[in-house]
Structure 1
Amino acid sequence: MKTKVDAVGRITGEWGRWQLRTVLLIFLCKIPSSWFMACIIFTAPAPRHGEFFCKPPNTVGAQNDTLWIKVSHPQKEEVEDQEFSIDFCNIYQDAQEHAHHYYRYGRPELEPRVWEEPTSRNMNIIPCQRFEHRAEYHSVVTQYDLVCSRDILVSVTQFFHLFGVLTGGILANHLLK
């Protein structure tokens, strides 16, 4: 009956000081790298819906954020629970014109009735370019507006870090030969 022999164990020998030193050196290099990869979890938490919305243009004197959201953001129906929610990633194409209609009034008694539907509305929806964040924390996501269509950029940073590790490993292996 043949006994199974560990080929690596036969070459390197029994566990000793050399193996312990090698393992500690590997850990010394890999632990900071793993912290760098885990760092994105703590520095880039994504804000929930309602903690951000499309930033109104400076030309619109929107003092009330709720009214701006009602005028500019479309509603969408959630398929799972048949409820309506606000689409914070998109705005109506003519949102600025409607906001001017709602916010440019001379006397308080002429204040617009935002609960009423606009008389004529262009229903074209476009993605929002700049966001205003009302989260309790500041992160990389809120600093650089990495929400909606730009949320993939958080994963791209991890991809390029790992690609650099791969390239460094291949290059080091090539240089050692």
Structure 2
Amino acid sequence: MERVNSFVIIFLLLSIGLSAQEHKNTDNKSTTTYTEYNIEVGIDQSLIKNDTINQRFASSPYILLQYENYYTDKLRLNLMLVPIAIHTTKDETQLFKERYFQTEFGISGSYMIFNNLWLTAGGGYAYRLFKQYRRGAGAWTETEFKQPGAFVYGSIDYWIRPSVGLKVTSVFNKEGYTFRMGVFVNFEAIKRRTRKE
């Protein structure tokens, strides 16, 4: 039942994004929109609640894919996907670690508050694939897990150039907190630049 609920939520989020795009395209009074595609890579710092240990933040790499639909030069809709998110946490001795593997999808809105500086807020849903723990130098062992469910997130991104930018993101859910810091590349901007050359 939990799996069915997760797919229903993901479907609803996709529907919201696509219906917004369709409404915009069929409104003759609206300005022309354009879309862009980004890939973001960086470091994920996570703190997942656990009643058995005093936890500390731990780092993992991440890759994030994003579709952006611009309604104006200052307003856009985003669809975000992290195919495999790895959230790692550890105890204060660093001898006990846990890591969570999950797929994350989100929808958000962004507004440019200053030159090339964007503020973003949105929500999404995470579907956990599996969980592992390790003691000392031992091997990673799979263990039981619960689904994390919905989350909310906010970010600030700054475009250094039309094709490259920096982003910091905070993610909150019922299990804990995640902080991401990464670099993103805009494929559409690269394509436009290549055509001009």
More helix by share: 1
The structure richer in strand per residue is 2
Shorter-chain-normalised TM-score: which range? Answer: under 0.3
- TM-score using structure 2 length: 0.22
Structure number with higher relative contact order (C-alpha < 8 Å, ≥ 6 residues apart): 1
Q: TM-score, normalised by structure 1?
A: 0.24
